[in-house]
């Protein structure tokens, strides 16, 4: 079974598990000085298409319900729409993972900060996890894989 998870944002966190193999990282979707704002989504789309294909069994993304700023909400919504579109194209089921539940799963606290999420990820997945976006994606994945437990 191949499951893919995302932390949608300008720094797109991603993680996947297939059988006993785990992969994770993050992709910088920032726009450069001479790039249009739409390039953020071109970069995100490329990574999403690399990770989701017809062999994917489930896609899960962090389901954020409130943002501090309008721009962050627009970026989040755009990236989630790319994830959902790719899933529909590949006939892959997808679901959102509630932020508070993922944080509680990871740390025992539903309002854990970025540092706590990274610390918990380093203990669970290895010291090479240093980015909060990658840590969040790993925990979204782990939360999803443990829903039937």
CA geometry: angle at 85 spanning 28 and 34, to 5°?
35
CATH number of the domain at 56, please. 3.30.420.10
pLDDT digits (tens, 9 = 90+) for 108-130: 999 999 999 999 999 999 999 99
| Full-model pTM | 0.95
Which residue segment(s) compose the domain that 33 sits in?
A: 2-145
- The pLDDT value recorded for residue 69 is 78
Q: How many domains does the chain have?
A: 1
């Amino acid at each position: 079974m191949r499951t893919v998870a995302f932390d949608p944002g300008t720094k797109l966190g991603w993680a996947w598990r297939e059988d006993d193999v785990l992969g994770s990282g993050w992709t910088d979707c920032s726009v450069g000085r001479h790039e249009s704002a739409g390039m953020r989504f071109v970069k995100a789309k490329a990574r999403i298409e690399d990770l989701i294909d017809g062999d994917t069994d489930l896609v899960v993304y962090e389901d954020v319900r409130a943002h501090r700023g309008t721009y962050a909400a627009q970026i989040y919504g755009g990236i989630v729409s790319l994830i959902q579109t790719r899933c529909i194209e590949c006939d892959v089921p997808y679901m959102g993972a509630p932020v508070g539940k993922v944080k509680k799963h990871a740390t025992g606290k539903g309002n854990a900060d970025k540092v706590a999420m990274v610390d918990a990820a380093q203990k669970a997945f290895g010291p090479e996890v240093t980015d909060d976006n990658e840590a969040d994606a790993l925990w979204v994945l782990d939360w999803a894989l443990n829903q039937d437990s």
